Amino acid sequence: MQTLPKKIHVVAFDVPYPADYGGVIDIYHKVEALHHQGIEVVLHMYQYGREESKTKLRKITKALYYYKRSTFKNPFVGSTPYIVNSRNGNELLDNLLKDSAPILFEGLHCTYHIANPLLAKRFKIVRTHNIEHHYYKHLEKSEFSYFKKYFFRIEAEKLRKHESILKHAQLVAAISPNDYAYFAKKYANVMYVPAFHSNNAMDYPGAKGDYLLYHGNLSVPENYMAAIELVKHVFSQLPNTPAIIAGNNPPKELIQLCAHFDNVELKSNLTTEQIHGLIRDAHINVLYTNQNTGIKLKLLNALYRGKFAVVNPLMVDGSGLDAICAVGKNLNEVLLKVKEYLLLDYSSSYFNNRKEFLSEHFNNTKSAQSLIDATDFSADSTPKQRSDKEVLKSLSQLSSFMSYFSL
């Protein structure tokens, strides 16, 4: 008797290709990894500002559905968070009801229908990309505009209350050990599934690079504020060392600041391939953040593709990646670390140590298989708690990860 292939619905908050920013990087490469493991993926996407990408996505999916996000909604009306309420179309629900396959909701953003009685017997997974109300509080602190600060403050409180919707999921897949610890205290059926990423192999990038690099989406307050701090307190203090700030849509303040320093160059609106080339050829990828939400996929990318990485503690907090980075407690220490590592060659021993660590703990194939193993693909998936054995296995894997370099 022929066995039918396993199928899963994935509901994405954005079109995940091109995979050129944090959240969609995780989604795209998760779908790709599930496909390579023989899972048929039905991909549902909310579209706003990004074009349809049917050719690339068709290669790794069974079916594609696009929905327009309702961005015209007033974000200050009602108790449902705007990021959820603007993704509330009934067309999605109708398409999910065409079969009884499990459903993977990407982020709280996509959970509008998760408590619907029509989905009561479905196996439902929520991939948490952040502790969302923490993330929005950080956005509030980083924002200059009073209107935006007010929106982020209101949205954070709505997200805090909305988070309880996770009780309707049979599985919560946290993206970082820190997030796992938070959600596991509040909900059953939480597991740690590392971030999916674009790097399936590592090539030695050479011993020396030509410059320092900070990269990120420069339209995001967290990122452009980090770039401003690095230019002011690190890059400008090294006038004989070229430094590059790279990312899309930089604000006017950052453009003007970079123009003041002869050694600092701003490169904007680059392709993914161009960003990867900059990461590879830099001697040090310098990454800085004022918030420790989720996991920083740009750091993972830098570690897979680049040479040395100098970071601050919040960039690696709870991720275990401090084991393969140079960490400066503040901007002054970051500057000292940069000066130190500019004198060093990125040797094969550095490279091999990092390769071993990343292969063990951020392996897309392993992560996809753990997600598959935890999912009930039977036709009638009634809500159930994971067994004690499964919970202990998840905790054991997490403990092993966090203690990898603790000796």
Domain ranges of the chain: 7-197+363-402, 212-359
pLDDT at 382: 43
pLDDT at 364: 95
Q: Which two tokens stand for residue 260?
A: 């003041």
- Cβ neighbors of 114 (< 8 A, separation 6 or more) are 105, 124, 126, 165, 168, 169
Q: Using alpha carbons only, give the angle 291, 296, 298 rounded to the nearest 5 degrees.
A: 130
Q: What residues form DSSP beta bridges with 212? A: 243, 284
Name the residue with tokens 């709280």.
108
Q: Which two tokens stand for residue 394?
A: 């998840």
Instruction: Judge whether 17 and 28 are in contact, CB under 8 Å.
Output: yes
Residues 15-37: b if buried by 16+ CB within 10 A, e if exposed? bbbebbbbbbbbbbbbbbbbbee
pLDDT at 110: 97
Architecture field, domain 212-359: 3-Layer(aba) Sandwich (3.40)
Q: Which two tokens stand for residue 297?
A: 């996929």
pLDDT at 307: 98
Looking at residue 5, the DSSP 8-state letter turns out to be: P
Q: Give the sheet arrangement for strand 243-247, strand by strand.
A: 264-268, 243-247, 212-215, 284-287, 308-311, 326-327
Name the residue with tokens 């590059």.
244
Looking at residue 224, the DSSP 8-state letter turns out to be: H
CATH superfamily for domain 7-197+363-402: Glycogen Phosphorylase B; (3.40.50.2000)
DSSP for 141-182, please give it.
HH---HHHHHHHHHHHHHHHHHGGGGGG-SEEEESSHHHHHH
Q: What is the pLDDT along the chain (407 residues), one digit of tens a residue?
A: 456 689 999 999 999 998 878 789 999 999 999 999 999 999 999 998 888 877 899 999 999 999 999 887 788 888 999 999 999 989 999 999 999 999 999 999 999 999 999 999 999 999 999 999 999 998 888 787 889 999 999 999 999 999 999 999 999 999 988 899 999 999 989 999 999 998 888 999 999 999 999 999 898 888 999 999 999 999 999 999 999 999 989 999 999 999 999 999 999 989 888 999 999 999 999 999 988 776 778 899 999 999 999 999 999 987 889 999 999 999 999 999 999 999 999 999 999 999 999 999 999 999 999 999 999 998 544 444 555 555 555 555 555 544 443 33
Q: Give the sheet arrangement for strand 40-47, strand by strand.
A: 63-68, 40-47, 7-12, 103-106, 124-128, 171-174, 190-192
pLDDT at 403: 47
Same topology between domain 7-197+363-402 and domain 212-359: yes
Q: What is the pTM of this model?
A: 0.83
Residue 362 exposure: Cα atoms within 13 Å on the Cβ side: 29
